[in-house]
Amino acid sequence: MADIYTTKIEENLIERVLKEGLDCQFPKYHILRIAIAKTLSMQKFRLDAEFWESKKLGGEKKGEYHLSQVTGKGKEEKEDFDMLLRAMFYMQHKEELESKNQDIFSDEKLYLSILEKYIHRGLYELQHSWKNTDCFYQWCLDNLSLYIGNPPAEVRESSPTDNQGYYPKIEKYFKDCAVSIYRISEDNSYRHHICKIEVQDATKIPHFKKKFETLENVLGCNAHYEACKGISKAFNIYIQKPQSQWQNPNLRDFQQGLAYLQKQSYALGVFAGMNIDKKPVCFDLKDAPHLLVAGTTNSGKSVLLKNIILCLLQNKEVQITIIDPKQGSEFGEFKEVKNIEVFTAEESCKCAEEFIEEMESRYKANAQGTSYQSMSYKILIVDELNNLTRNNKNMLDKLTNLAEKMRGCKMHLILGSQRPDAKTFAGLRDNIPARIALKVSKGTESRIILDELGAEKLSGKGDMLLKFNGKDTLMAFGIKLSPEELQTQLRGLR
């Protein structure tokens, strides 16, 4: 009789890791050991918490394992870490076990139940944080740090006890609306609790979407949903946490984003931030080919523009020109960086004229046989677009000219604005299909940027909506680097 059982979905994951991740024929129980290590690296929760059930991949039983395989019990000393694992579980849950007078060293049933919890949770986290295109060895380096007790604050998850009651309320609400739903899983992100559900009757999906509009009134907080790609009838419901429970992506996430960019074939790769699933959101400015970044004061616009510049500088052939109406103070960190020039508002028209001349020169050279491949990328970044063009139609005309014509000669435009208005953006919008909206004051401003509502509901703490060339809108959370972290990133680029 087996000691540990896994589900069909878990077995499929194990086979996928062995084939696509490790590319070898390790015994399958090694993946269970990795799962245990993953759970040990995460925040602990009480053993009687409902949380454990939500961190389990569903399905019927399929795999069977013995302790001799999973923990090496009964093998020679150097291979038997069964007692060590019991001791680690004891240290993790000492207070709870002692309060219930439970002995993990003698109670085999108790030990196996804890072991299964750790295996199921670890496999669940592996399923949701690793994909076939990722390097599995790098995943192990990033995810298998060991903490006895609780991990450091930067790797902790929000306690699900803070979110207790969400799913029962959601289930009851839709049941009262004659829509039956089934909970697939629950998870925590930076600022959201995520309930993945299935609408059991496909004919009820339109009714589900309509009734979702008033779900926020029941929950007492912001909520939205997205259909799960590739899973019929399944939806992710994103419930915004109280601000006191928010987490923010950090330097480690920024470095992860840069590492992801290096694996892609992007010419002008940009890492915008992390999505709700804690995955990097990236794009190639070359394909954009121009970008609008807009958001109200303190929304994170300038922080995002600086991060974009850091990403673009990874390409050594890029030349960047910045027009900073704040007398060059907003982007002062970049003045000493090779391949970057910073200009003030007074110099903006002359700068735009030089770009127009460069653009025309490139097209002329290409017509005479010079390949664009021999030319470097040139990027013009213009911040505070409204202030710069409000009483300067000449400057607006020059930028419109550039937006219309320079995409074909390895020249690109990035515009920043606090309050985009229809009048200023009218001549530009058709030629700037890539847009990022941070928090804005009004729904009309969201429509100007994205052609849809949504940005007016953002928190103003670095969260953003991205829309590229008519594709589905994405949400991401930007990363605010400290001045010291920014200088460290720049040090190797000067």
Residues annotated in the binding site for ATP, as ranges?
295-302
Per-residue pLDDT at 155: 44
Whether residue 158 has pLDDT greater than 60: no
Same domain for 426 and 329, yes or no, is: yes
Q: What is the mean pLDDT of residues 335-345?
A: 89
289 cis-preceded (ω within 30 degrees of 0): yes
Same domain for 290 and 369, yes or no, is: yes
Please report where in the chains the tokens 């009820």 appear, as a residue: 204
More reliable by pLDDT, 59 or 494: 59
Instruction: Tell me the helix, strand and coil percentages in the chain, rounded to 5.
Output: 45, 20, 35
> pLDDT-derived band of residue 160, with 50, 70 and 90 as boundaries?
very low
Same domain for 241 and 258, yes or no, is: no
Rounded CA-CA distance 324/34 in Å is 50
Q: What percent of the chain has pLDDT over 70?
A: 95
Rounded CA-CA distance 380/410 in Å is 11
Whether residue 39 has pLDDT greater than 80: yes
Lowest mean pLDDT among 187-196, 323-332, 436-445: 323-332
Residue 489, classed as helix, strand or coil, is helix
Q: What is the mean pLDDT of residues 27-47?
A: 90
Same domain for 303 and 433, yes or no, is: yes
Q: Cβ neighbours of residue 223 under 8 Å, at least 6 residues apart? A: 212, 215, 216, 237, 238, 239, 240
User: Which residue segment(s) compose the domain that 479 sits in?
Assistant: 251-491
Whether residue 157 has pLDDT greater than 50: no
> pLDDT-derived band of residue 26, with 50, 70 and 90 as boundaries?
confident
Q: Report the 10 Å Cβ neighbour count for 398.
A: 19
Cα distances (angstroms) measured from residue 186 to each of 13, 32, 35, 158, 169: 19, 21, 18, 12, 14
More reliable by pLDDT, 159 or 189: 189
Amino acid at 125: E
On the CB side of 348, how many CA atoms lie within 13 Å of its CA?
Answer: 26
Asked if 446 and 453 count as a contact pair (C-beta separation under 8 A), the reply is yes
Rounded CA-CA distance 131/28 in Å is 18
Whether residue 196 has pLDDT greater than 80: yes
Q: What is the mean pLDDT of residues 352-374?
A: 95
> pLDDT-derived band of residue 296, with 50, 70 and 90 as boundaries?
very high
Task: State which of 155, 170, 185 marks the end of a domain.
Answer: 155
Per-residue pLDDT at 422: 78
Per-residue pLDDT at 162: 45
Asked if 430 and 443 count as a contact pair (C-beta separation under 8 A), the reply is no
- For the chain, the domain total comes to 3
Residue 429 corresponds to which tokens in the numbers above? 């919008």
Total number of residues shown for the chain: 494
Per-residue pLDDT at 360: 96
Rounded CA-CA distance 275/277 in Å is 5
Per-residue pLDDT at 349: 92
Same domain for 291 and 317, yes or no, is: yes
Same domain for 284 and 417, yes or no, is: yes
Per-residue pLDDT at 319: 96
Same domain for 145 and 164, yes or no, is: no
Same domain for 143 and 215, yes or no, is: no
Please report where in the chains the tokens 């590229």 appear, as a residue: 468
> pLDDT-derived band of residue 232, with 50, 70 and 90 as boundaries?
confident
Whether residue 156 has pLDDT greater than 60: no
DSSP conformational letter for 152? -
Q: 437: part of which helix (H) or strand (E)?
A: strand 434-437
Q: What is the mean pLDDT of residues 350-367?
A: 95
Rounded CA-CA distance 440/419 in Å is 8
CA dihedral 177, 182, 184, 186 (to 10 degrees): 50
Rounded CA-CA distance 479/486 in Å is 11
Nearest C-alpha neighbor of 133 from the set 288, 334, 282, 8: 282
Q: What is the mean pLDDT of residues 155-183?
A: 74
Same domain for 301 and 314, yes or no, is: yes
Asked if 266 and 282 count as a contact pair (C-beta separation under 8 A), the reply is yes
Per-residue pLDDT at 329: 76
Nearest 5°: phi and psi at 185? -165, 170
Q: What is the mean pLDDT of residues 42-68?
A: 85
> pLDDT-derived band of residue 74, with 50, 70 and 90 as boundaries?
very high
Residues annotated in the binding site, as ranges?
295-302
Whether residue 337 has pLDDT greater than 80: yes
Q: What is the mean pLDDT of residues 251-270?
A: 92
Same domain for 185 and 333, yes or no, is: no
Per-residue pLDDT at 101: 93
Per-residue pLDDT at 461: 87
Q: What is the pLDDT of residues 378-429, one digit of tens each?
A: 999 999 888 888 778 889 899 999 999 998 899 999 999 988 777 777 778 8
Nearest C-alpha neighbor of 115 from the set 98, 90, 96: 90
- The overall longest dimension of the chain from CA atoms, in Å, is 86
Same domain for 259 and 241, yes or no, is: no
Query: Domain with 290 in it: what CATH number?
Result: 3.40.50.300
Task: State which of 139, 155, 171 marks the end of a domain.
Answer: 155
Same domain for 170 and 62, yes or no, is: no
Per-residue pLDDT at 494: 63
DSSP conformational letter for 407? G
Per-residue pLDDT at 425: 75
Using N-to-C axis directions, what is the helix angle for 8-16 and 29-40, rounded to 10°? 100
On the CB side of 258, how many CA atoms lie within 13 Å of its CA?
Answer: 16
Task: State which of 212, 245, 278 marks the end of a domain.
Answer: 245
Order the strands of the 340-343 sheet from edge to edge: 280-284, 269-274, 474-477, 463-468, 434-437, 291-294, 411-417, 377-382, 318-323, 340-343
Cα distances (angstroms) measured from residue 60 to each of 10, 128, 210, 231, 398: 10, 19, 33, 18, 64
Please report where in the chains the tokens 């992801």 appear, as a residue: 260
Amino acid at 178: A
DSSP conformational letter for 81? -
Average confidence score pLDDT of the chain? 88
Q: What is the mean pLDDT of residues 202-210?
A: 95
Per-residue pLDDT at 164: 52
Rounded CA-CA distance 347/325 in Å is 9
Residue 368 corresponds to which tokens in the numbers above? 């005479």
Asked if 239 and 277 count as a contact pair (C-beta separation under 8 A), the reply is no
